[in-house]
Amino acid sequence: MKKSGEKAGLRDSLGDDVVLAGLFFALLFFLMSYPLIADHTLGTLLLDVVFSVLLITSAYAVSHNRKVLIVAVILALPAFGLWWSVRAINTTAIIFASLAMSVVFFVFVITVILRNIARSDEVSVGTIYGVMSVYLLIGVAWSFLYAIVELASPGAFDFGALATTVDSSATRGELRFFGYYSLVTLSTLGYGDITPVTPLARSLSALEAVTGQLYVAVLIAFMVGTHIAQKHRR
């Protein structure tokens, strides 16, 4: 007989809520601090540490199922190793591989958390943190996709005046701007300081904007419906 926590999908204990909360705040810190401190040597080191914590926390957040945890670890280890390898071997191939593996890992985590949310029969603190974490994970995954496009086709994005602020020796250079660009696109703010130039870059940007709007609309409707059903059962 399954435990109630397994039936709900998202685990219900305080520790699990803390993990999901930790995932959310780690994502928030990573995305908010990246443009501020990525120019400094110590700052890039701190961000690499935060990213490592992000990988570990993301893997632990889906660890309620042993098979899922094994897959998460298998995907996280190459992403972790390649991300740190960039500091020693700062080549386009290594950066591309680290970004690609990170995208695969975060897409997997997003899928697992969304599946757990869909299976949950009540709206809890963990559910809310899970929903918010997925929203930011979408932003992170998309920022890496933009970076991959820029690496594959240099000039796919026009950075305008921002390009003059980039330290040529900084790890990943202009790619650090994509976290910011991804969030303003996901939330449909669209300041226009970074412009997609190639058809693929424009398509990805449009798709992210649509995804952001649909995610908010669908998840809010789902959570409201689940909460009403929860109150009705009580």
Q: What is the pLDDT of residues 60-70, one digit of tens each?
A: 888 878 899 89
Mean of the per-residue pLDDT values for the chain? 82
Question: Could you report the per-residue pLDDT of 92-150, keeping only the tens digit for each?
Answer: 899 899 999 999 999 999 999 998 888 877 777 888 888 999 999 999 999 999 999 99
Among left, alpha and beta (phi > 0; psi -120 to 50; other), residue 158 is beta
**What's the confidence (pLDDT) of residue 167?**
56
CA distance 25 to 84: 22
Radius of gyration of the chain (CA): 19
User: Where exactly are the structural domains of the chain?
Assistant: 10-233
Give the least confident one: 17-26, 146-155, 156-165. Answer: 156-165
Question: Which residues touch 112 (CB under 8 Å, ≥6 apart)?
Answer: 62, 68, 72
User: Could you give the 3-state DSSP secondary structure of residue 192?
Assistant: coil
pLDDT of 171 over the 90 cut: no
Question: Could you report the per-residue pLDDT of 32-48, keeping only the tens digit for each?
Answer: 877 676 666 666 778 88
Q: Where are the alpha helices (DSSP H) in the chain?
A: 4-8, 14-37, 41-61, 66-88, 92-119, 125-152, 178-186, 199-233
Total-model pTM: 0.84
> Interhelix angle for 125-152 vs 92-119, to 10°?
150
